[in-house]
Structures are given as C-alpha cells and as structure tokens.
Amino acid sequence: MHTNTSMNKKTGRSIDNAFASKFAKSMFLSVSAIVILSFIATRMFTHVDLNLYGYMVGTIVFIGGFFYRFIAWGERPPTKIFIKKGLKLLKRKSTPKTAVNHLAIYDFIKNRGLYRWVQHILIGWGCVLACLVTFPLVFGWMYFTMDDNGHYTIVLMGLNLMTVKADGIIAWLSYNALNIAAIMVTAGVCMALHRRLKNMQARAEQKFIYDFLPLYLLLFISITGLLLTVQNVFLHGWMQPQMSLIHQFSVIVTLIYLPFGKLAHIPFRPVSVFARNYREHYAEQEEKKCKVCGDHFVSVEQSNDVIQVLGVNAIEFNMEDGFNLAELCLPCRRKYRISRFSGFATHQVKVKGANQNAKG
C-alpha cells in the first residue's frame, strides 16, 4: 500500500524523476557534496593527500551501503511515521536537551549499569574523535601547512584557521588526537570483551558475528593505528608503509560492515530523539482513555499510528464485543485476554490486579 503513495508523490515532483531511484539520488547528491567540499577546501585540489586515497574509496563504498540499508529501513511503515513526524517536531524546546542526553552522554545506558556506560563513552567518543580528525584530512577539508619559523597553520575548509607553535599544546593534541582516540577505543573494547566473556547476563544472548565481530574490528583499527605511532617514534618508521596499508584495510572493512551489523545503530540512533519528541508532543495534545478503566495510557496520535501500521501488515484487533483491542490499556488488555480464556469478565472486576513483579 505504501508503495502506491510514494509513487503518487513521485509523479508530482519532477526532480525525483531524473533519478532511477531514491538510492541513486541520495548517492549522487552526497558524492557531489563531498567532491564540491573537497574542491573548495583543498584550494582546487592542490592540497590532496593521496596517501589517504584508500579511505576515500572506503568512504564512498560506505555511503553506498548506508543509503542502501537506510532507505529500505526508512520505507518501513512505522519507521516512516517516526521520521516524518520527528522531523516536524525537531523545533521543540526540549530537543537539544534530549539530543545531548540520548546522543552524547547516554544517560539511559548509565541506568543499565555504570560499567556499560563507561565502556560506551570510551568507545563512542573515541570513534567520534577519530572520525572528526580522519575524514576532514581524507577529503582535504582540513590540513596543516608548515611555516618556516617553527609554526604550523591549520587550514580548515580552505581558510587559515589558526597558527600554532610546532611544540605547543594544541599542536601536540592535534598530532596525538588519533592516538588518544585509539587508546579510548582500545580500553572501551577491552571492557566490552571482558563483559561479554565473564558476565552471564551478557553471555546468554550474544552471537559471534553480531556482538564480537564489531569489537574485534574496532580493536584491529585501534591497535594498527597505535602501532603506526610506535613505528614512527621508536622504530624510525620501520615497516610503516605496510602497517599503514593494513590500517587502511581495517578501516575500509569496518566502513563497509558498518551499515549492516551492530554498528548500524550509530547513524540511526538520532531517531530515538524523534521518538521522545513524538511521545512528549502528542501526549500533551490528547491522551487516549482506556475503554474499561478510563486510565490514560498513550497519546491518541500514537494509538492511531500503531493501528494504521498494523493495518498495513494486515493485523487488526477488532473484537466480537464491538471494540478494538487498541482501546484497552495494557493491564486491561491482559485481563481481557484472561477473560477470553476463562469466559469470566476479569477485566470488569474493579480490583487492582495482583503485583506482577516477581520481586514483590
């Protein structure tokens, strides 16, 4: 059903017809954007570091995988609703706070355990830091030029950002940003591996390909990256070109893997901010009352959206007694099910149900 609507929309807009698919269009636009940005930033391609060529290819392949995966994902009826309404609600006052909470400091992970939170902060922020350094360098959005008086100039998007002393703190931080990132990621990954090997709760549900592979990939990248520095500092660059190739290879493999495995949650996590906005906004609008007990249990909007989504999947819960299951709050829904089993209308008995938490 939803394919029809998107077809109709397409015929309405001519620009979409110029491309064979959404995929082709997104691909074309992103690659063009990267090329244009690089053109400007590298002062018409005069400052391209061709040693980083492998990363460029890796990134393009990654973008392909990313769009392939996420366009398919975004077409799913429930996802489409959240993305569409989430974008509309982005201007809510609470958005910055929710975004920082969900995407930067991960409060909800802290509530799952301090250990897991520390591990996630280390891995997450280590990766962010590494990407912030690597990709601008790869595409020439940022580079360093050396002046003759022991100063470096950091050039960002073709503009001289600042001049720093070659042995100053900012210079030191810039050279070592990748090392710091690698150490953070290594520490975080080791914590995660330790948990996966020792913690019985984690062990129960894990799979090698899904849970371990991404950790090993990140470890591979970090260790080879750190080895590059070691070779540079202690071994006078011995075997560095070879290691550099191995390191590039590890990054490219990870980039290709990223949209498909566990790491796919990175680009797609912002939707959790959309979901929070959606719940808060529509709960303020109008809440749905349970048909049996009268409790408010969800926003009318979300209830209707879910009914519609289930309808697309040919699932409908209209009962013989003339109502839809979606009109009952969750405890009443459970009691109604009991009543259908027993023939006695449990949900009509005005007694609070027994505690359902085994801890009492």
Partner 1 sequence: MKKRLYLELENCIGCRSCLAACTQCGGHEERNRNYVYDVNPLVNRQTMPLMCLHCVNPACARSCPAQAIQIHETGAVLSALVEKCIGCQNCTIACPYGIPKFDTEQNLMYKCDLCIDRTKDGIPPMCASVCPSNTLQWLTDEEIEAKQKQFNLDNGKWVTSMPYLEGETNVRVNLPGILQGVTKLF
Q: Find all residues with CB under 8 Å of 233, minimum gap 6, and list them.
A: none
Question: Which region among 5-13, 19-27, 56-64, 345-353 touches partner 1 (by CB under 8 A)?
Answer: 345-353
Is 302 near partner 1 (CB under 8 A)? yes
CA dihedral sign of residues 149, 153, 158, 161: negative
Closest-CA residue to 143 (of 131, 129, 133): 133
Q: Which residues ranging from 188 to 217 are in contact with partner 1 (CB under 8 A)? A: 200-205
Is 338 near partner 1 (CB under 8 A)? yes
Distance between CA atoms of residues 339 and 1, nearest Å: 35
Distance between CA atoms of residues 114 and 122, nearest Å: 12
Is 78 near partner 1 (CB under 8 A)? yes
Is 354 near partner 1 (CB under 8 A)? yes
The HSE-up count of residue 224 (CA atoms within 13 Å, CB side) is 19
Q: Which of 284, 285, 313, 320 binds partner 1 (CB under 8 A)?
A: 313
Is 268 near partner 1 (CB under 8 A)? yes
CA dihedral sign of residues 117, 122, 124, 129: positive
Distance between CA atoms of residues 280 and 175, nearest Å: 44
Q: How far is CA 249 from CA 61, 65, 284, 322, in A?
A: 13, 17, 50, 62
User: Identity (one letter) of the amino acid at 186?
Assistant: T
CB of 298 to partner 1, least distance (A): 5
Question: Which region among 34-42, 103-111, 176-184, 217-225 touches partner 1 (by CB under 8 A)?
Answer: 103-111
Q: Which of 48, 63, 191, 325 binds partner 1 (CB under 8 A)?
A: 325
Is 247 near partner 1 (CB under 8 A)? no
Distance between CA atoms of residues 168 and 173, nearest Å: 9
Is 71 near partner 1 (CB under 8 A)? no
Is 294 near partner 1 (CB under 8 A)? no
Which residues lie across from 318 on neighbouring strands? Answer: 324
CB of 74 to partner 1, least distance (A): 9
Is 9 near partner 1 (CB under 8 A)? no
Q: Which spans of this chain sit near partner 1 (rule: CB under 8 A)?
A: 73, 76, 78-79, 81-82, 102, 108-109, 111-112, 200-205, 262, 265, 268-269, 271-272, 274-276, 278-279, 297-298, 302-303, 305-306, 309-310, 313-315, 317, 325-326, 328-335, 337-338, 340-344, 346, 349, 351, 353-354, 356-359
